[in-house]
Amino acid sequence: MSDADLLATEHDDIGQIIKRALRNRSFLVGLVITLAVLALALMSFVWTPYDVTKLVIADRLKAPSFAHWFGTDHFGRDIASMIMEGARNSIAVALVAVAIGIIIGVPIGCWAAAKRGIVDEILMRSSDIIFAFPALLSAVMITAIFGPGAVNAIIAIGIFNIPVFARVARGAALSIWPREFILAARASGKSDARITREHILPNIANLLLVQGTIQFSLGILAEAGLSYVGLGAQPPNPSWGRMLSEAQTMMSLAPQMAIAPGVAIIITVLGLNLLGDGLRDVLDPKLRRDR
């Protein structure tokens, strides 16, 4: 779908959008999965089936049972409880990384679109340069130099969201600027900044929302990768990636240890991707189903 399709929703009323949302299977499934994962993560703040910081060696490497739904790990910790707390970490890292991308990237993109010319050229070429760095490689470099941990993982992932949002915002804003209502706003003497705030941003919000969902799911995968190599959240905070790296050493003894964290990542990413696809269709009045 081109950006222009998504931008054309300015005259859609909220009722129509909700009606379309309720009919869109991808949106509904994605929304339910995402809300369920969020709910589990939030619930872990007040309740988990077992305490994940308590090691119960007598219960180590238990197969899934009624008492331990996904079994226990090599320290006898309940895997289901660790998955719940790990969700918290994954979501927090990916969400803040998206926020960094939006807060810094969108103003840059909007500025480039408003100023055009040399400013635009410099900003966009700079984003090209960042794109030349394989994101994971640089994330590994950043977290290694500044030390492993959730905060540095957020920064490493967030930096790569900046050019993504800058480009999306610029592309979308560029297609709004020539419109008549912008000309009218200009004629009434409004500044570029005010036009961007009052007219451009509300019109490109749809597109940013869809992109935000995509980057969120990529962030979950990136965080898992960083934690897997030991550069994400540090013990005792459980993280899905680190659970997998611990499972790797136990692979021949207890393969079940690797199943639950992997499935948790897949379900979360799948939910977000479906939600993103659904949102795109819901916010696009032409409803192009072929993507």
| Site of interaction with other proteins (CB under 8 A) | 125-126, 128-129, 132-138, 140-142, 144-146, 217, 221, 224-225, 228-229, 244, 247-248, 251-252, 255, 258, 261-262, 265-267, 269-270, 273-274, 290-291
Q: Which residue, 134 or 202, has its beta carbon nearer to other proteins?
A: 134
Whole-angstrom CA distances from 242 to 46, 51, 86, 92 are: 23, 18, 9, 16
CB of 209 to other proteins, least distance (A): 20
Q: Residue 143's Cα: distance from chain center in Å? A: 19
Helix (H) or strand (E) holding 39: helix 25-46
Longest dimension (CA), the chain: 76
Residues 122 and 231: their CA atoms lie apart, in Å, by: 33
Q: Which residue, 200 or 279, has its beta carbon nearer to other proteins?
A: 279
Q: Which residue, 55 or 250, has its beta carbon nearer to other proteins?
A: 250
Q: Which residue, 112 or 201, has its beta carbon nearer to other proteins?
A: 112
Q: Which residue, 180 or 290, has its beta carbon nearer to other proteins?
A: 290
Q: What are phi and psi of 239, to 5 degrees?
A: -140, 150
Query: What does the CA dihedral 283, 286, 287, 289 come to, rounded to 10 degrees?
Result: -130
Q: Which residue, 86 or 182, has its beta carbon nearer to other proteins?
A: 86
Report the half-sphere exposure of 19 (CA within 13 A, side-chain side).
7
- CB atoms under 10 Å from CB of 47, counted, come to 8
Q: What are phi and psi of 62, to 5 degrees?
A: -75, 140
CB of 267 to other proteins, least distance (A): 8
CB of 232 to other proteins, least distance (A): 12
CB of 198 to other proteins, least distance (A): 33
CB of 15 to other proteins, least distance (A): 29
CB of 39 to other proteins, least distance (A): 20
DSSP helix/strand/coil, 72: strand
CB of 28 to other proteins, least distance (A): 15
Whole-angstrom CA distances from 86 to 34, 67, 243 are: 15, 20, 9
- The residues facing 72 across adjacent strands are 78
Q: Which residue, 201 or 265, has its beta carbon nearer to other proteins?
A: 265
